[in-house]
Amino acid sequence: MALTHALRAAEAPAPSAARLGAGQEFLLILFFVWVVLAAYSFLKKPICVLGHEIEQSEIAQLLSSRARIQIDLQPSLAEAGPVLAQTASEPRESAPARAVDDTPQRILILGDSMIEGLLPRLADYAKENGHTVNAVIWYGSRTIDWARGTRLSDAINAHRPTFVIVVAGSSELFVRGVEKRSLAIEQMLKTVGSRKLVWVGPPNWTTDTGINATIERTVGTDRFFRSADLTFERKRDGIHPTLSSSEHWLDLVTGWIVSRSSVPILLNRPSKTGTPRPNVRVFAPPTS
């Protein structure tokens, strides 16, 4: 009887090792060997056995170099700036497309002498996108000049614009009590009415006394393009931007109209230049 029980015990599988197949046992052994080698590779000094130094594996070097590569590929947010900081973050859903008015516009650009440099490029944009352009240039004009009298309302009635671009403020960089000009700006907005409007601020050649802040506060950030912070190449007078600088200036304005203003219209970049000068009415500087 005892012999029978012994035979049965010998035939029964071992509680742990027999449950693993030969392949699994081999993989398990390899895993433990890898763990031991990896741990040994991180030791600062190799172990000597019977005068022989046991060589360390390169596992630690591989792991540390891979970590360095991953770190180097991630730019520092402080150095990358806002654009790279966004690309380094988690992917975001793209912003919904803006509703751009792609219907042909009757554009009226009016204001001071800064229009001279902007007009040729604006004409190219108009031709490219199916718009028409008319211009009223009042040399040396100020917001108070446009607010009083009928010159602004006459231009509106004559051209019936659907989109108005005001370029004014350059003659008011040194005005004292500039906050009072908000009343003139409000009167101009009232005359323009519900038509689409953007205001292109003056291309400052020096620090102003507050005209840019006054215009932006009155018109609204979504309709005011601040030019004061841009860098321009100037003509000999040191005031007016050169023609090439004005062209770049208008490219920035049109890009802002489409992407950031509250009145986006179709303004694809022109494929051709040299459009004939549009209809322009010119007035001499104010006498007072």
- Whole-model pTM? 0.68
**Domain residue ranges of the chain, discontinuous segments joined by +:** 25-78, 106-283
> What is the residue-level pLDDT of the chain in tens, covering all 288 positions?
443 444 344 444 444 444 556 666 666 666 665 655 556 555 555 565 555 455 555 444 444 433 332 323 333 333 333 232 232 333 334 445 679 999 999 999 999 999 999 999 999 999 999 999 999 999 999 999 999 999 999 999 999 999 999 999 999 999 999 999 999 999 999 999 999 999 999 999 999 999 999 999 999 999 999 999 999 999 999 999 999 999 999 999 999 999 999 999 999 999 999 999 999 999 999 998
CATH fold for the domain made of 106-283: Rossmann fold (3.40.50)
Per-residue tokens: 192 = 């323009």
**Burial of residue 40 (number of CB atoms within 10 Å: 0-12, 13-18, 19+):** middle
> Across the strands, what pairs with 186?
none
User: Cα–Cα distance between 38 and 57 in angstroms, integer?
Assistant: 7
Q: Are 119 and 260 in contact (CB under 8 A)?
A: no
User: Cα–Cα distance between 98 and 195 in angstroms, integer?
Assistant: 19
